[in-house]
């Protein structure tokens, strides 16, 4: 069935969290295609992460000179892919454009979920379940392997090991910030791409003060877009033990910072998945999200969530007028601290 396949491309999801949740798929793909060249097609910001991912031989970044969406962007990227002559393409994002791009690249076999009216562009597909009925996203990606291999080999381990360049970079930051490796370190990620996933900045600050009060230190992390909220948390915490490292480096560098944390706490966004991948015990503050589908793919994570009649919610902004973002407001600092204590207890037993 796959004996004539030597080159495979995987269209990786656009968001950091989804890309991290695809790492078990990439590792499993390598198990089933040990002699094939496997390329990851991704957004430019994800390239450093995927270049160090298990199973990936090369990274092809999307050409965004014609925009990130629309037919011009699809045509341009299809033309970029065509000369590589991939025989098999996996489309992990469920969008119309992601599948159309592989079709425009003239890849003979194209595998993905049948969603967003894109079945025409796929040669092999499985249904995309409706909201609230989907498996965990990592499992959903792994299920695509069944379309190509009978009883495929699966590696469900979520792993990412930052390379030596990240270690050298963060060693320099540690020295500059005078971070003592003996002092317990708490990592905080108060940002998120969607506004309805933001826990209150003042509560992150309260959490930081409590951790520092018990003799620890705190690092605040996020991307360039998260800098305002990271600065707000640092200012409201007002403690000498806080280092704001938002925008400190690329994803492998951030992964190395998180790896050095004893505990990591963040909103339901990409960095909590990165924390899971490097093995750091993680607390996820999940307001509207569905943990069954998008919780970190690890046993070292605890999700703090208050169930409501409107949850899980799949909108980017809260629709309620009576109590907007009640799902976030109900999560108290004591709830998150209890989750931290639970993770510390597990570490002590282990």
Instruction: Please give the residue that has the higher pLDDT: either 220 or 65.
Output: 220
- What is the topology classification, in CATH, of domain 164-349? Rossmann fold (3.40.50)
**What pLDDT shows up at residue 35?**
94
Give the tens place of pLDDT for each residue, 257-277: 999 999 999 999 999 999 999
Q: pLDDT-based confidence at 349, cuts 50/70/90?
A: low
Q: Report domain extents, the chain.
A: 7-147, 164-349
| Residue 2 pLDDT grade (very low, low, confident, very high; cuts 50, 70, 90) | low
- Domain 7-147 and domain 164-349, same fold? Reply is yes
Q: Spell out the residues 6+ positions from residue 84 whose beta carbon is closer than 8 angstroms to its own.
A: 7, 9, 39, 60, 105
Mean pLDDT of 219-229: 94
Share of the chain above pLDDT 90, in %: 80
217 DSSP β-pair partners: 185
What's the first-to-final CA gap in the chain, in angstroms?
44
**Tens of pLDDT, residues 117-146:** 888 999 999 999 888 889 999 999 999 999
Across 181-208, average pLDDT: 94
Q: Is the pLDDT of residue 1 over 60?
A: no
Confidence band, pLDDT 50/70/90 cuts, at residue 180: confident
7-147 has which CATH code?
3.40.50.2000
What's the confidence (pLDDT) of residue 304?
A: 97
Task: Examine the pLDDT at 187 and tell me if it is beyond 60.
Answer: yes
Mean pLDDT value across residues 139-157: 97
Dist. CA 273–CA 268, nearest whole Å: 9
Which pLDDT score is estimated for 348? 62
Closest CA to 5 of 90, 65, 76: 90
Read off the pLDDT of residues 280-310 as tens digits, 9 standing for 90 and up.
999 999 989 899 999 999 999 999 999 899 9
Is the pLDDT reported for residue 71 higher than 90?
A: no
For residue 116, is pLDDT > 80?
no
The packing angle between helices 164-177 and 251-259, to 10°, is: 60
- Determine the pLDDT at residue 254: 97
- What per-residue confidence (pLDDT) applies to 195? 87
Per-residue pLDDT tens digits for 10-58: 999 999 999 999 999 999 999 999 999 999 999 999 999 999 999 999 9
The pTM for the full model equals 0.94
Average pLDDT in the chain: 93
**Most confident range, picked from 70-74, 212-216, 317-321:** 212-216
Residue 68 has pLDDT above 80, yes or no: no
């Amino acid at each position: 069935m796959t004996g004539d396949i030597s080159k495979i491309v995987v269209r990786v999801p656009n968001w950091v969290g989804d890309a991290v949740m695809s790492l078990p798929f990439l590792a499993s793909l390598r198990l089933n295609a040990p002699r094939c060249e496997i390329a990851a097609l991704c957004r430019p910001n994800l390239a450093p992460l995927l270049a160090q991912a298990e199973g990936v031989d090369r990274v092809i970044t999307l050409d965004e000179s014609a925009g990130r969406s629309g037919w011009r962007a699809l045509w341009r990227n299809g033309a970029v892919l065509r000369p590589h002559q991939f025989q098999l393409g996996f489309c992990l994002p469920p969008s119309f454009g992601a599948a159309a791009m592989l079709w425009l690249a003239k890849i003979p076999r194209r595998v993905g979920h049948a969603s967003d009216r894109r079945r025409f562009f796929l040669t092999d597909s499985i249904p995309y379940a409706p909201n609230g009925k989907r498996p965990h996203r990592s499992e959903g990606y792994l299920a695509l392997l069944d379309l190509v291999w009978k009883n495929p080999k699966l590696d469900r381990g979520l792993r990412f090991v930052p390379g030596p360049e990240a270690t050298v970079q963060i060693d320099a930051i540690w020295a500059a910030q005078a971070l003592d490796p003996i002092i317990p370190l708490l990592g905080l990620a108060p940002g998120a791409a969607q506004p309805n996933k933001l826990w209150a900045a003042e509560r992150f600050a309260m959490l930081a003060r409590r951790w520092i009060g018990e003799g620890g230190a705190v690092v605040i992390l996020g991307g360039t877009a998260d800098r305002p909220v990271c600065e707000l948390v640092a200012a409201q915490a007002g403690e000498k033990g806080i280092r704001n490292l938002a925008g400190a480096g690329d994803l492998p560098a951030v992964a190395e910072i998180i790896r050095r944390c004893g505990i990591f706490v963040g909103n339901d966004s990409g960095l909590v998945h990165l924390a899971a991948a490097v093995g750091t015990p993680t607390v996820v503050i999940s307001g509207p999200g569905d943990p069954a589908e998008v919780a970190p793919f690890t046993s070292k994570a605890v999700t703090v969530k208050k169930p409501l009649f409107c949850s899980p919610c799949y909108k980017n902004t809260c629709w309620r007028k009576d109590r907007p973002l009640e799902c976030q407001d109900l999560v108290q600092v004591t709830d998150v601290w209890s989750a931290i204590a639970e993770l510390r207890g597990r570490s002590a037993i282990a």
